[in-house]
Amino acid sequence: MLAVLSPGQGSQKPGFLTPWLDLPGAGARLRWWSALAGVDLVHLGTAADADEIKDTARTQPLLVAAALLAAEHLPMHDVALTAGHSVGELGAAALAGVLPAESAVTLAGLRGREMAAACAVEPTGMAAVLGGDPDEVLAALAAHGLTAANRNGAGQMVAAGPVDALDKLAAEPPARARVIRLKVAGAFHTPYMAPAEQALAAVAAGITPADPGRVLLSNLDGSTVEHGREVVQRLVRQVTAPVRWDLCMRTLADLGVTAVIELPPAGTLAGLVKRELKGDGLPEIVTLNTPDDLPAARDLIARHGGPARHRPAAPFRVVLARSAGTFTPTDGLAEGGYVRSGQVVGQVTTRQGAVEVTAHDSGVLTEWLAHHDDPVAPGQPLARIGGQHV
């Protein structure tokens, strides 16, 4: 099985679209998408400097447009799976047939503008936390009132929250971990982005999506999503929910993906896949950065491609927190145990009291994703349930 991945914010480089403008029709396509996104994509992808393209309002539509532009030159009918990181999910949804390209670019423009506006409300930011024990890192973030906004696997986590809390984390890093401040405008994928989520939801409600034509993974919990309306709801929810790229990569392994193409600007997601899936299970990877890389990408599709032999149901279901607070699993409920739909699996203690967490499907509790006394945010995955649904 072959997967095509669409990168997210932070992967952009000055001038990275310049060679693509030599392809017939590319300039016209970008000018049309520029009108929809409200930014000059040709200028941003060719002549803009690093400071200009790190602006959230500009970067998000630029990345989605770049991925879609490159994918037009691939035999996508032989691609079985798509996934994207953060705003890259809009590109992945379009490549899966859920949204027209025009809708994806338009939503990326709106998403970028509204997230930039939300960043201006109060001083927040993000920092990469590299290395360290994951549980100790999460505990350190909680102690400083920060959120794990991105869990990228391969020893990489991104903390987000108030600037002063990030400063304290950098001064007191977790054991065996490095903290690197990121040059971003605010705390993406946290409740600080709630105004942007509301604005995106108001517009997305008018979209009539199609069901995915190929396997599509969700950043929310790494699961496959089968219905177009659910895809759109998840795209909106992801503005304030953590990005679980670690779970997406686990699903790539679970589904037996043998080859990966990362769309431009490529390199970041390919690096994470190499580090996380190293060994015998490492897929063959092509980073598609310029038209010169197209022959290698097409050859990879020819050797590993073809539509999925079946539309796999999600290999697992994920129980999500509905409120922010502290999570407590139900006593005696251990990994490997069977849970039924509607069964209480834990509770989140909030300022207003305890909120029960219930399973929406039956199956085996394969893994706890949050543990006793862990701080959790709304929409955060708490447990994975697999096996037979009844």
Closest CA to 33 of 54, 3, 59, 64: 64
pTM of the model: 0.81
Predicted confidence at residue 308, as pLDDT, reads 62
CB atoms within 10 A of CB 213: 16
Per the model's pLDDT, the better-predicted residue between 324 and 118 turns out to be 118
**pLDDT tier, 221 (very low <50, low <70, confident <90, very high otherwise):** confident
Span 325-383, pLDDT tens digits: 899 999 999 988 888 878 999 999 988 788 888 887 778 888 898 889 999 876 678 88
Q: Evaluate whether 253 touches 278 at the Cβ level (below 8 Å).
A: no
Query: Which one is catalytic: 6, 11, 34, 86?
Result: 86
Among 3.40.50.2300, 3.60.20.10, 3.30.70.250, 3.90.660.10, name the CATH number for the domain at 124-181. Answer: 3.30.70.250
124-181 and 317-386 in the same fold: no
Predicted confidence at residue 389, as pLDDT, reads 38
Per the model's pLDDT, the better-predicted residue between 334 and 281 turns out to be 334
Mean pLDDT of the chain: 91
- CATH fold of 2-119+191-304: Malonyl-Coenzyme A Acyl Carrier Protein; domain 2 (3.40.366)
pLDDT(100) > 90: yes
23-38 burial by CB neighbour count: b if 16+ within 10 A, else e? eeebeebbeebbebbe
Predicted confidence at residue 384, as pLDDT, reads 85
**pLDDT tier, 176 (very low <50, low <70, confident <90, very high otherwise):** very high
Query: Which one is catalytic: 103, 189, 223, 323?
Result: 189
pLDDT(292) > 70: yes
The full set of domain ranges for the chain reads: 2-119+191-304, 124-181, 317-386
**pLDDT mean over 232-244:** 94
Top-level CATH class of 317-386? Answer: mainly beta
Q: Kindly provide the residue ranges of all beta strands, DSSP E only, lying in the chain, ordered along the sequence.
A: 2-6, 81-84, 124-131, 147-153, 156-162, 177-181, 215-216, 259-262, 284-287, 317-320, 325-329, 338-339, 344-350, 353-358, 363-368, 374-376, 381-386
Predicted confidence at residue 316, as pLDDT, reads 67
Lowest-pLDDT range, 186-195, 215-224, 352-361?
Answer: 352-361
**pLDDT tier, 315 (very low <50, low <70, confident <90, very high otherwise):** low
Q: State yes or no: is 86 an active-site residue.
A: yes
